[in-house]
């Protein structure tokens, strides 16, 4: 038995989920699932109205919550202390760097104690400075008051600055309502758009709004145009996506000339454009979809600038195409592909293009002058850090904006002159309770994978933490969809690090830390490479004396929760505990159910087990739920959201039920389901700290550290 198991002493009995024999077919295979009853038949209704959850399922989830509370009851004071520490690092009265647009500068601001921001603006005076008077545009706190859960999605002011359109989700289901407010009067128009995605784009004349309608399965299916004052039922459908495996997104080019409709399925994309100035816009396709061809579009002058993997550019390149004939036959290379240098994003200005790219798990920014192709790299000297392009409305400008942070350094926002190559610091993240970056050690390491690959690792610990193999270590991983976890600052994790934890991020395959090939090497039937890499990182950190066997807390969320579940099946004795946040652990059943919101679009990532025997075999071999066995599992904390459309609540509930049934003497297995939240958990900048405090208290307890 793991030493950490004895520190958990729940005062109530663990819930035992009833076994109800059930079987269903997945292609030519039959799957037996005794806990399938936890999937509510009316799950679509539950996502929009949590009160409709069947009574037996609700009773089980509440019993699990009570058991989790009991097991962590002795950490109640610690959790309150952790929330207090984390909150003390947040500047209560805070304002973003304003974004200038015409005669106004728009920004978010927080009042002391507020969970949600006020969206506001100030007038830009003739000398370029901002007026002292703050004009409220939209108060998210007032909107949130009547709801247990509230998410303010996209917010967009109209080009004439008269209106603001905004999207809200009050269940966590990601079905947004869109409303339009008259800024001067502060009143909403009668226009009310429902079953929407969060994407919003205005027409140039401010008379219409482009938005995305979601179907009953929570899939974005149509781009619609809403004329202000018209009934939503009369909205014109401009684009309908027939393929259930493709999702839609809506955006605008940097020069605001074109509205972009992008359909994609993780490996293939297709972009349609609308002229934002046309009263009756016509739809044009840049290039018809081709399997495994991805491209992303921006515009300046008379050309489209397209980031693409065309012509074998695995790590992507940037091409140009004339805007009157943008088809593939006219694509010309501007920034050629370079293996190992993953081009991530590009942003256009009238005379410049800025691109964000990544090399060996570290990002960099490159400024490209359009007139002569001269390039300048923005240099960063830290060992492990994060960079990001920040939004700006100006197009005809020499200024761009970027963010920088590291594992030890709070975020800074810079304005950068693309001709003079100078930068001005606009804001540094303030830590009211104090922060000394020099009190921490930040390292970039590598661990050797079982096949010889070098896996990058970003790591931070307090300088007083002994690196002699005795420290507990939280190892975080994700490893899917090409997503690379940045080495950015987190004011929350300091509460672990200050208590003697080493915090490490494993940049494993499945992400794109070392280029697109790093992603494809752990995709589909190759998915186990993600899990082997994570285990190799854990073993490598032990070998380097950062921790020891049984003192590692594995952590991951969503697809990172799949990672946690898989490595627990493969090497349970390596870990002293595990935190699986909204974990995607029922992979086989989910990928066999095409009615679920994300299943068809996810087939390119995981494989389609209904039609592909190899995919069925591969998923069956690693799916955490399907591979639970009588093993010596460490304590596990699992979180879920009842209205989560991405990882449905029954996946973690079923997994915990099977863990408890198959390995009852190990664990314990704790499940905490938020009954009024979705994938992102509790809403609000302070409420969300409670979930982090729960996770960290579990980690501290599992590591047998003091609960003070």
Q: Looking at the annotation, which residues are catalytic?
A: 558, 644, 679
Interhelix angle 688-702/76-88, rounded to 10 degrees, is 130
The size of the chain, in residues, is 708
If one counts every other C-beta atom within 10 angstroms of the C-beta of residue 199, the result is 21
Reduce the secondary structure of 76-88 to three states and give it as a string.
HHHHHHHHHHHHH
Interhelix angle 559-570/528-543, rounded to 10 degrees, is 70
In this structure, what are the phi and psi dihedrals at residue 100, rounded to the nearest 5 degrees? -75, 135
Distance CA 391, CA 402 (A): 8
Distance CA 669, CA 578 (A): 10
Distance CA 624, CA 708 (A): 34
Q: Which of 471, 439, 477 is nearest to 456 (CA)?
A: 477
List of residues 6+ apart from 307 with CB closer than 8 A: 295, 296, 316, 317, 318, 343, 345, 346, 355
Residues 529 and 523 sit within 8 Å (Cβ to Cβ): no
Strand extents, DSSP E, 478-569: 502-506, 552-557
Distance CA 686, CA 689 (A): 5
Residues 413 and 401 sit within 8 Å (Cβ to Cβ): yes
Q: Which long-range contacts (CB under 8 A, 24 or more apart) does 344-348 make?
A: 344/316, 345/307, 345/389, 346/296, 346/298, 346/305, 346/307, 346/318, 347/254, 347/298, 347/389, 347/400, 348/253, 348/254, 348/255, 348/298, 348/299, 348/300, 348/305, 348/395
Residues 455 and 507 sit within 8 Å (Cβ to Cβ): yes
The Cα diameter of the chain in Å comes to 74
Question: If you write DSSP's letter for every residue of 130-152 in order, what string do you get?
Answer: BPS--EEEEEHHHHHTT-SS-EE
Q: Which long-range contacts (CB under 8 A, 24 or more apart) does 411-415 make?
A: 411/488, 411/489, 413/97
State the burial class of residue 421 (Cβ atoms within 10 Å of its Cβ: 0-12, 13-18, 19+): exposed
Residues 471 and 500 sit within 8 Å (Cβ to Cβ): yes
If one counts every other C-beta atom within 10 angstroms of the C-beta of residue 592, the result is 21
Distance CA 89, CA 492 (A): 8
Distance CA 441, CA 501 (A): 12
Residues 367 and 340 sit within 8 Å (Cβ to Cβ): no
Token representation of residue 569? 């099946």
Distance CA 671, CA 638 (A): 5
DSSP 351: S
Token representation of residue 337? 């592909």
Three-state DSSP at 67 gives helix
Tokens 């752990």 identify what position?
Answer: 522
Q: Are strands 669-674 and 636-641 parallel, antiparallel or unpaired?
A: parallel
Distance CA 626, CA 695 (A): 25
């Amino acid at each position: 038995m793991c030493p950490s198991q004895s520190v958990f002493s729940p005062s109530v009995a663990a819930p035992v989920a009833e076994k109800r024999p059930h079987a269903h077919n997945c292609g030519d295979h039959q799957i037996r699932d005794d806990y399938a009853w936890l999937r509510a038949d009316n799950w679509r209704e539950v996502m929009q109205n949590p009160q409709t959850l069947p009574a037996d399922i609700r009773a089980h989830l509440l019993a699990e919550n009570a058991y989790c509370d009991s097991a962590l009851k002795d950490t109640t004071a610690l959790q309150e202390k952790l929330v207090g520490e984390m909150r003390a690092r947040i500047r209560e009265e805070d304002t973003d760097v304003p974004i200038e647009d015409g005669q106004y500068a728009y920004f978010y601001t927080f009042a002391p104690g507020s969970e949600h921001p006020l969206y506001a603006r100030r007038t830009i005076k003739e000398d370029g400075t901002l007026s002292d008077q703050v004009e409220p545009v939209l108060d998210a706190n007032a909107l949130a008051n009547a709801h247990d859960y509230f998410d303010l999605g996209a917010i967009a002011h109209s080009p004439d600055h008269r209106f603001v359109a905004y999207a809200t989700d009050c269940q966590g289901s990601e079905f947004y309502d869109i409303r339009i407010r008259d800024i001067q009067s502060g009143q909403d128009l009668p226009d009310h758009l429902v079953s929407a995605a969060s994407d919003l784009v205005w027409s140039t004349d401010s008379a219409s709004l482009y938005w995305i309608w979601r179907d009953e399965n929570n899939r974005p299916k149509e781009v619609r145009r809403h004329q202000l004052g018209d009934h939503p039922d009369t909205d014109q459908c401009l684009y309908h996506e027939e393929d259930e495996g493709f999702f839609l997104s809506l955006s605008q080019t940097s020069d605001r000339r074109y509205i972009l409709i992008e359909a994609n399925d993780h490996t293939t994309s297709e972009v349609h454009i609308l002229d934002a100035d046309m009263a009756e816009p016509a739809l044009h396709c840049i290039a018809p979809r081709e399997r495994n061809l991805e491209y992303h579009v921006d515009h300046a002058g008379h050309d489209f600038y397209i980031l693409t993997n065309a012509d074998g550019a695995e790590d992507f390149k940037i091409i140009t195409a004339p805007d009157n004939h943008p088809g593939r036959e006219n694509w010309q290379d501007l920034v050629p592909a370079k293996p190992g240098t993953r081009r991530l994003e590009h942003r256009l200005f009238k005379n410049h293009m800025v691109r964000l790219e990544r090399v060996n798990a570290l990002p960099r920014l490159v400024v490209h002058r359009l007139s002569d192709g001269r390039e300048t790299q923005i240099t960063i000297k830290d060992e492990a850090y994060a960079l990001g392009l920040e939004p700006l409305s100006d197009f005809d400008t020499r200024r761009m904006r970027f963010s920088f942070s590291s594992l030890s350094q709070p975020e800074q926002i810079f304005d950068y002159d693309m001709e003079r190559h100078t930068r001005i610091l606009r804001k540094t993240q303030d830590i009211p309770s104090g922060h000394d970056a020099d009190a921490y050690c930040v390292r970039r390491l590598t661990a050797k994978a079982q096949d010889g690959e070098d896996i990058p690792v970003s790591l931070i610990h307090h300088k007083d933490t002994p690196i002699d193999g005795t420290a507990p270590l939280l190892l975080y991983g994700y490893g899917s969809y090409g997503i690379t976890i940045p080495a950015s600052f987190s004011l929350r994790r300091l509460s672990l690090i200050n208590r003697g934890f080493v915090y490490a991020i494993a940049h494993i395959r499945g992400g794109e830390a070392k280029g697109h090939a790093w992603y494809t090497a752990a995709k589909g039937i190759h998915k186990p490479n993600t899990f082997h890499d994570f285990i190799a990182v854990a073993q490598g950190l032990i070998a380097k004396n950062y921790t020891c066997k049984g003192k590692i807390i594995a952590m991951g969320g969503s697809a990172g929760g799949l990672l946690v579940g898989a490595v627990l099946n493969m090497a349970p004795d390596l870990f002293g505990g595990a935190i699986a946040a909204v974990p995607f652990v029922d992979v086989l059943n989910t990928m066999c159910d095409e009615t679920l919101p994300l299943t068809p679009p996810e087939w390119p990532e995981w494989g389609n087990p209904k039609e592909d025997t190899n995919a069925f075999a591969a998923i069956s071999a690693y799916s955490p739920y399907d591979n639970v066995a009588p093993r010596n599992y460490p304590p596990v904390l699992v979180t879920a959201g009842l209205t989560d459309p991405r990882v449905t609540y029954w996946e973690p509930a079923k997994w915990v039920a099977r863990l408890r049934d198959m390995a009852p003497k190990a664990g314990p297995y704790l499940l905490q389901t938020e009954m009024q939240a979705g994938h992102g958990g509790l809403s609000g900048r302070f409420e969300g700290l409670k979930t982090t405090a729960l996770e960290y208290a579990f980690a501290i307890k599992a590591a047998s550290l003091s609960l003070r």
